[in-house]
């Protein structure tokens, strides 16, 4: 669409925004003088929905009122509580209900998935990540390689951009897999790279990796709640994500896991077992032999904590009400407006390293700015909440649920001033 570099234009965009009212569903942090912050770190910690307190207090009240009977007689019984999120989670990531479960934290889920899906052999034991993947993914992959007796310096492959470029080309990933794929056991990429903000083409990468016999998994920490995902159709073997970024579930909240339906009854896959993954029809008969449930639920270990589930449900109810299609449409406009203003208002002092193509990015833009970290600290002092990632990236993520076009305009003007 055609943008204009004026405050009046930003206000008109906000007035015409069909999702504008959802900002009022969130608590907006304030500065010391009581003004609302410019909050652009939903890619790190999403804001709290105002309904979260009510959802969590309901469970605290039922615990006080019912004690252990809350497992069956709470207003939202705790025994099946995680199932209340199954349909919403499936819709969020473009999956079927049997393919998703909310459990654990992201890296725990990643390890559980690699127990089942990283099955190295002497001829095929490499794991492929993107260069500058989130460190936890690299740590997890390297530890799994060592666990199986291989050397990460040889078996952990990090695909880097071409010299002079900031992001990976899909055709370079495909070319590597065509050339080296027979030695690769697992392709494990971020859906959106945390540092550059690049969104990968999950379908093309999955197709290229499967053609070479590789297993495919994705870390969707920066993609879930940010992009309109199609996990079932794109076909990766598994995916994991957290819920405290774009999903607004609160610090350190529970994570999500996807296992493609073709593996739903692959009970011969090795896995770490726990009682909550056992067939729920016989779970409380306490059998000695573990019988996993079909689908992603069969990878559960323990009964989940109800209070974090309640906080997540408060946010997921909002996602379900709006839908990722509408959120993504606004996000493309909002981040597009940010890129437009940066390129016109501070072209000589800011370089965007995130791809210009909206199909290759989510909400986040990663910037290299004149003044570096000093500029970031001055923005922070002025009431802007964005974040800095070493060595040289200022990350800014206008979130469609609660950021406005006026927020974006004000941010760029403040960036000019510092």
Q: Tens of pLDDT along the chain (418 residues)?
A: 799 999 999 999 999 999 999 999 999 999 989 999 999 999 999 999 999 999 999 999 999 999 999 999 999 999 999 999 999 999 999 999 999 999 999 999 999 999 999 999 999 999 999 999 999 999 999 999 999 999 999 999 999 999 999 999 999 999 999 999 999 999 999 999 999 999 999 999 999 999 999 999 999 999 999 999 999 999 999 999 999 999 999 999 999 999 999 999 999 999 999 999 999 999 999 999 999 999 999 999 999 999 999 999 999 999 999 999 999 999 999 999 999 999 999 999 999 999 999 999 999 999 999 888 999 999 999 999 999 988 889 999 999 999 999 999 999 999 999 8
Q: How far is CA 168 from CA 94, 163, 165, 342, in A?
A: 25, 10, 8, 23
User: Are the CB atoms for 316 and 89 separated by under 8 Å?
Assistant: yes
SS3 304: coil
Residue at 54 is within a domain: no
Structure tokens given for 114:
């690699």
What's the confidence (pLDDT) of residue 10?
A: 98
Structure tokens given for 189:
């990429």
Buried-exposed string 145-175: b where 16+ CB fall within 10 A, e elsewhere: beeeebebeebbbebebeeeebbbeeeebbe
Residue at 53 is within a domain: no
- Last residue of some domain: 285, 320, 355? 320
Are 151 and 173 in a shared domain? yes
Are 332 and 302 in a shared domain? no
Are 106 and 193 in a shared domain? yes
Residue at 386 is within a domain: yes
Burial (CB < 10 A; 0-12, 13-18, 19+), residue 387, is middle
Are 349 and 384 in a shared domain? yes
Cα–Cα distance between 253 and 54 in angstroms, integer?
A: 17
Are 207 and 342 in a shared domain? no
Residue at 124 is within a domain: yes
Residue at 357 is within a domain: yes
Q: Tell me the whole-structure pTM to 2 decimals.
A: 0.96
What's the confidence (pLDDT) of residue 232?
A: 98
Q: 388: domain range?
A: 7-36+323-417
- Last residue of some domain: 296, 320, 344? 320
Are 369 and 298 in a shared domain? no
Cα–Cα distance between 361 and 288 in angstroms, integer?
A: 48
Residue at 2 is within a domain: no
Cα–Cα distance between 395 and 415 in angstroms, integer?
A: 13
How many whole angstroms from its chain centre is CA 6?
32
Q: How far is CA 124 from CA 117, 145, 205, 212, in A?
A: 13, 12, 18, 11
Are 198 and 266 in a shared domain? yes
Structure tokens given for 406:
């006026």
Cα–Cα distance between 279 and 272 in angstroms, integer?
A: 15
Are 171 and 247 in a shared domain? yes
Are 210 and 335 in a shared domain? no
Are 406 and 271 in a shared domain? no
Specify the DSSP class assigned to residue 360.
Answer: G
Residue at 157 is within a domain: yes
Tell me the DSSP string of 152-197: HHHHEEEE-PPTT-SS--HHHHHHHHHHHGGGEEEEEEESB-TTT-
Are 193 and 308 in a shared domain? yes
Crossing angle of helices 306-322 and 86-93, rounded to 10°: 50
What's the confidence (pLDDT) of residue 418?
A: 87
Q: How far is CA 129 from CA 5, 141, 160, 198, 304, in A?
A: 39, 9, 9, 14, 30
What's the confidence (pLDDT) of residue 392?
A: 85
Residue at 231 is within a domain: yes
- CA-wise closest residue to 107 among 61, 60, 142: 142
Domain count of the fold of the chain = 2
User: Are the CB atoms for 92 and 155 separated by under 8 Å?
Assistant: no
Are 157 and 82 in a shared domain? yes
- Last residue of some domain: 288, 320, 352? 320
CATH for 379: 3.90.1150.10
Q: How far is CA 177 from CA 165, 168, 306, in A?
A: 20, 14, 42
């Amino acid at each position: 669409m055609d943008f204009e570099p004026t405050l009046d234009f930003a206000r008109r965009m906000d007035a015409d925004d069909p999702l504008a009212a959802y900002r009022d569903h969130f608590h907006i942090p304030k500065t010391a003088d009581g003004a609302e912050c410019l909050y652009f770190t939903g890619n790190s910690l999403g804001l709290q929905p105002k309904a979260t307190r009510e959802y969590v207090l309901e469970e605290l009240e039922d615990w006080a009122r019912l004690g252990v009977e809350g497992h069956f007689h709470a207003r939202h019984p705790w025994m099946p509580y995680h199932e209340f999120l199954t349909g919403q989670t499936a819709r969020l990531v473009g999956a079927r209900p049997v393919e998703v479960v909310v459990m654990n934290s992201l890296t725990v889920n990643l390890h559980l998935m690699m127990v089942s899906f990283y099955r190295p052999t002497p001829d095929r034991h490499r794991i492929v990540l993107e260069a500058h993947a989130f460190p936890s993914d690299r740590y997890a992959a390297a530890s799994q390689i060592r666990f199986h007796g291989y050397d990460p310096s040889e078996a952990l492959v990090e695909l880097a951009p071409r010299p002079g470029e900031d992001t990976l080309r899909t055709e370079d990933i495909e070319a590597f897999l065509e050339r080296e794929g027979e030695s690769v056991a697992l392709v494990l990429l971020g859906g959106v790279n945390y540092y550059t903000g690049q969104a990968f083409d999950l379908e093309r990468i999955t197709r290229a990796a499967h053609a070479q016999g590789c297993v495919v998994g994705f870390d969707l920490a920066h993609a879930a709640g940010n992009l309109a995902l199609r996990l079932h159709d794109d076909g990766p073997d598994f995916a994991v994500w957290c819920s405290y970024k774009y999903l607004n579930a609160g610090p350190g909240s529970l994570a999500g896991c996807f296992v493609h339906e073709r593996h739903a009854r692959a009970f011969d896959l090795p896995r770490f077992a726990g009682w909550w993954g056992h067939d729920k029809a016989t779970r409380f008969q306490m059998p000695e032999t573990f019988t996993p449930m079909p689908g992603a639920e069969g990878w559960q270990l323990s009964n989940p904590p109800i209070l974090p589930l309640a906080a997540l449900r408060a946010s997921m109810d909002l996602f379900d009400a709006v839908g990722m299609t509408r959120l993504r449409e606004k996000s493309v406009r909002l981040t597009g407006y940010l890129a437009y203003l940066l390129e016109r208002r501070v072209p000589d002092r800011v370089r965007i390293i995130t791809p210009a193509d909206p199909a290759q990015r989510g909400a986040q833009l990663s910037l290299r700015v004149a003044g570096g970290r000093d500029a970031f600290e001055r923005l922070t002092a002025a009431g802007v909440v964005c974040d800095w990632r070493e060595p040289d990236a200022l990350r800014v993520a206008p979130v469609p649920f609660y950021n406005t076009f006026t927020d974006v305009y004000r941010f760029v003007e403040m960036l000019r001033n510092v």
